[in-house]
Amino acid sequence: MTKPATDKPMRPKANASPYSAAWAVLGVAGLGYLGIAFFAPQLLPDLSHGRQHAAETTVMKVSADVETLKASLSKIESDISIVKADVATQATQTEQLSSQVAALDDKVRVAQAQTPAVTTTASAAQPTGTDAAPVDDADGGPAPPKIINSTPRVGAPIETGSVDKKSANKPISFGPAVVKPAPHPYGIQIATDPSIDGLRITWGALSQIHPEQLSQLKARYADVGTAGNPNYGLIAGPVKSKAEARKLCKELLAQSISCKVSDYRGNVL
């Protein structure tokens, strides 16, 4: 049996919503872009060039930063090497000075220990006036005392030296006065230090290490600095002539000791 037409369901009409319209517009735009990209790509903007330029700029900036960092690391390594060398040199010099000062202290102690012993021995060997035993003469009796300053007998003639009367009356003539200038004292400056105590330590060490050149010389110190930079020079001397001072400096320079000819001046060290 057939149902009547009034019994069949009615199909609803499709109404276009705004959501569907937006999707339709996007689809048309996408199809248009693909068409232009396929048929006329020259109309589209060239974005790859801008991206490539930005990438190159970034790479160049990073490379420059890396080079700067490498240069900084190299400079730091160089500074560290210089500091290590300075510290090693300072340690070596300090060790040498310490050993030299210790050797000088030992010698001073030995000299101080020997001085009282020598004085005691000399005092024991020298007889006094009360302890000296009288010396006997040949007959066994005591020797008569010797009269050193005796009173002369009254009326005895006084003995004098032999003087020629003729030559005594002659006037004494002297030659022309000759004035000889005093020899100019020369010295050698072998060290400088901002303190006098440092010069004493240096002189003690150098005089012990180089006795052939410095044992016969005496040390003085002279002001060779300025008000802002005080400094004192160690001057050894006196030396007879400038040529001898140059010879001493040549020998000391050959042994890596600073030296220059100078006037023997200053105060006793």
Tell me the C-alpha distance between 254 and 21, whole Å: 104
Model pLDDT for residues 147-188, shown as the tens digit of each residue: 545 555 555 555 555 555 555 566 666 667 666 666 678 999
Task: State the maximum Cα–Cα separation within the chain, in Å, rounded to a whole number.
Answer: 210
199-240: per-residue pLDDT in tens? 999 999 999 999 988 989 999 999 998 888 989 999 999 999
| Contact (Cβ atoms closer than 8 angstroms) between residue 234 and residue 193 | yes
* pLDDT > 90 in the chain, percent: 26
- Bridge partners, residue 220, by sequence: 235, 268
pLDDT of residue 5: 52
pLDDT higher than threshold 60 for residue 143? no
Sign of CA dihedral 12, 16, 19, 21: positive
Minimal CA–CA distance to 238: which of 166, 186, 197, 189? Answer: 186
Cα–Cα distance list, 264 to 194, 205, 237 (Å): 20, 20, 6
Local structure of 9: helix, strand or coil? coil
Instruction: Give the least confident one: 3-17, 57-71, 182-196.
Output: 3-17
In this prediction, residue 16 carries a pLDDT of 55
